[in-house]
Amino acid sequence: MARAIDGIPIRVRISVDVEPEFRRRLRLAAAQSDVTVREYVLGAIRDRLRQDSDENAAPAAILTAATDPVLAELWSNEHDAAYDRI
C-alpha cells in the first residue's frame, strides 16, 4: 500500500475510456444511489474484488487429489498414502 505523507494517503489515478451512453448510465446510477461517480465506481470495484477473492479462495481451501490433478500425481505414493487413511 502507498505510504501517507503528513497523514494524507497517496492515491493514484486510473483512467478508463467509455462510450458516452455508458458514462450517462454510470452518472445516473451514481445519482440514484446518492453518491459521487467516484464513490459508485470504487464501491463496484471493491465488491467485484471481494467476490473474485471469495470465488478463488473456496477451491484453494479444499485441496484433494480429486480437485487438483497435479497434487494427485505428487500425492500418489506410499508415504503420503498414510494421509488417505486418516
Q: What is the pLDDT along the chain (86 residues), one digit of tens a residue?
A: 556 677 787 888 899 999 999 999 999 999 999 999 999 999 999 999 988 887 766 555 566 767 777 777 776 777 777 766 66
Residue 33 located in a structural domain = yes
User: What's the CA gap between 67 and 75, in Å, rounded?
Assistant: 12
Asked whether residue 71 is domain-assigned, the answer is yes
pTM: 0.55
**Domain membership of residue 27 as a residue range:** 17-84
Inside any domain, residue 11: no
Residue 22 inside a domain? The answer is yes
Quote the pLDDT of residue 15: 94
How high is the pLDDT of residue 37?
Answer: 97
Look up residue 85 and give its three cell numbers: 487413511
Given this model, what pLDDT does residue 60 score? 52
pLDDT at 3: 65
**Any domain includes 6:** no
Does residue 5 lie within any of the structural domains? no
Total of domains in the chain: 1
Residue 71's contacts (CB-CB under 8 Å, 6 or more residues apart) are 63, 64, 65
Residue 47 lies in a domain: yes
Is residue 9 in some structural domain?
no
Phi, psi of 14 (to 5 degrees): -120, 130
